[in-house]
Chains A and B, each alone.
Chain A
Amino acid sequence: MNPHIIGIFEEEEELISALNIIRNKNIEITEVFTPYPIHEVIKIMKRKTKLQIATFLYAAFGLVLSYVFIYWTSVISYPLTYGGKPYHAIPSFIIICFVTTICVAILLSVITFFIRSRLYPGKTPTIIDHRITDNAFVILINIQPETPSDEIETINSLLMKNGAVEVIEK
């Protein structure tokens, strides 16, 4: 890992106020680790996702795919009359298309989630501090080789002043 400073907090409120202050000082925060999702953190870090758009597109794809497939099997490939219904029996295609649309959308969304988050079985995590999944809220700030030492000092004192219980420089 790059050289970095981490500030460990024990309370959500302190973390958020510290984040706001550091942001206002124009210091770039690399990442924030929390034991549970905090909306303010996501907002402050300006994190955005397009997963919902992807899901919508997957659903549209699933709908088209299932409808075309059912149309092809029932009308083109092997037309067969069931219960006097027309080959192209739209009402009875609706439900199965609905279910397969959801199936495709869920499956592809989950795959996208894992690929985008780079999560996979057996991945070795880079654990900044073993308490991040328990009770620690961690601010990670990467330090560049050219960063002046007085700026590092400022970051350290900012973290300490704003409620960090521990500041570690690595």
Chain B
Amino acid sequence: MYEANIRAPLVKGNKTYHQITEDICKPLETKPGLWWYITLFLSLCALAIGSWALYVTLNDGLGVWGLNNTVGWGWGIINFVWWIGIGHAGTAFSIFLLILGQKWRTSINRAAEAMTVVAVMCAGVFPIIHMGRPIIGFFVFPYPNDRGPLWINFNSALTWDVAAIPTYLMASAMFFYIGMIPDLATIRDRTTSKVKKAIFSFFSFGWVGSSRDWLRFETLSWLLAGLMAALVVSVHSIVAMDFASSILPGWHTTIFPPYFVVGAILSGFSMVLTLMIIIRKIYKFQDYVTDSHINAICKILVFISLIMGTAYTTELFITWYSGNEYEMFTFFHNRVTGEYNSAFWIMIFSNAIIPQLFWFKKIRKKLFIVFLISILINVGMWFERYVIVITSLTKDLLPSNWADYSPTKVEIGIFIGTLGFFVMCLLLFFKYLPMIAISEVKGVLRSNNNKNLKRKIS
């Protein structure tokens, strides 16, 4: 489809293969600008705050969080789901588009995959510290023990999470790394620094790009993509079932698994967009991340946002249609109009309404507005999780149980820490690894360059 004549070329500027290598390797070979050091410093500060908060949590226990008997899941779980969502769509972007044969993924997939790995690591922190005593966290794994042996409950969605999230982290890290091996070899072969050569030689696994290697490499990429596409869908469905398999009004719905998966893709795609706009601007990669790339992501976002809007409306409709008074209370009195209504409306506006602006070509062309909307979607997705977790928990079936919740500075600190970690890892990625898949971009250069287009038209 993308090869149609009306489509813009995937790589602009009539690049040669060597120029592509030069352009993409440039950030690795030059000193980063002042902005890089400043942002690194800020992210390290955020990480320091997070480390302090983590230390306090581990030292004093979960009592330092704003949780109580009623609201047992607070910011910890909200942030877990938020990060997992971001982490999902990064690879989903790379994998779904690979399976669908979308060649325009090539300039973006590497950054999306890197984002995924880091985001899943950030997400992983929360369930571990939420256990209260992480030192005995290994209890969640089935291992022979002298208590029977008493095995874990394989009927619980939380146990499925234990299997799914490490699998996802492992798989996405492998997909990211294996995809990068040919590019690491490129850097190995062009660098003049001995230290760099030794390091990249070690990590490029002796890659030389023979036809045999490429065949296996491509086959493995497709196999991993096929398996991971199923995994991506199942992992976020399982996270949704952590909620849906309870009997709490607002959680106990069958719409949750698809709704969570789509939500994850929305937040991930918008994070990819945020990241690509930054990369494009700072590293002047306009020839690789072209306007039509941004345009395509925006169009996908409109579509996903429509599904999200439908999901929100369906939830409200089914609540009314079921006639269940507890559900009616949770949705109409607690979410739409209650004390947390601002969170609900931020969610609706940012995820379902604002992205509809992408219908207009003028908006899609204004990068600054696109950037703002992508940030707004991420904020909206955070509030979605906030609405789900907090409104349902604070007011459950028994009014005598009702309790308020607000996060303490320790919880906020941990969240800031994960943001710092995310930014820090991405900065290191920008500086030390090729942020665009060199070999893949070369692969699409001839299939879709200007010359080719001209030939087709004539």
A interface list, Cβ under 8 A from B = 10, 12-13, 31-38, 41-42, 45, 47-49, 51-52, 55, 59, 69-70, 73-74, 77-78, 80, 82-83, 85, 89, 92-93, 95-96, 98-100, 102-103, 105-107, 109-110, 113-114, 116-128, 130-135
Contact = CB atoms under 8 A, between A and B. Distances in A.
Given A36-B443, A92-B155, A51 B203 contact: no
B202 A47 contact: no
A130 B189 contact: yes
B290 interface: no
A105 B223 CA distance: 9
A35 B442 contact: yes
A32 B210 contact: yes
B308 interface: no
Interface string B162-184: 01100100110010001001100
The 4 closest A-B pairs by CB, nearest first: A123-B206, A135-B17, A73-B151, A119-B205
A36 B62 CA distance: 51
A35 B216 contact: no
B18 interface: yes
Given A74-B154, A105-B227, A124-B206, 5 more contacts: A33-B210, A51-B220, A85-B155, A102-B231, A134-B17
Given A33-B209, A102-B171, A127-B208, A78 B219 contact: no
Interface string B181-222: 110011011100000000001111111111111111111100
Nearest to B152: A73
B219 A49 contact: yes
A99 B216 contact: no
B201 A127 contact: no
A103 B442 CA distance: 31
Contacts of B142: 69, 73
A18 B199 CA distance: 36
Contact of B230 (A33, A92, A102): A102
A135 B21 contact: yes
B102 interface: no
B33 interface: no
Contacts of A35: 17, 182, 186, 209, 439, 442
B409 to A, nearest CB: 36
A113 B209 CA distance: 14
Interface of B: 16-18, 21, 142, 148-151, 153-156, 159-160, 163-164, 167, 170-171, 174, 178, 181-182, 185-186, 188-190, 201-220, 223-224, 227-228, 230-231, 234-235, 237-238, 241, 439-440, 442-443, 446
Contacts of A48: 215
B234 A99 contact: yes
Contacts of B440: 36
B337 to A, nearest CB: 35
A74 B208 contact: no
Among A47, A59, A96, A133: residue with most chain B CB under 10 A = A133
A98 B231 CA distance: 9
B134 to A, nearest CB: 23
Contacts of A103: 163, 167, 170-171
A98 B145 CA distance: 25
A115 to B, nearest CB: 11
A103 B166 CA distance: 9
Nearest to B106: A36
A123 B212 contact: no
Contact of B154 (A41, A73, A127): A73
Contact of A95 (B218, B227, B238): B238
Contact of B186 (A106, A122, A133): A133
Nearest to B153: A82
Nearest to A31: B210
A49 B160 contact: no
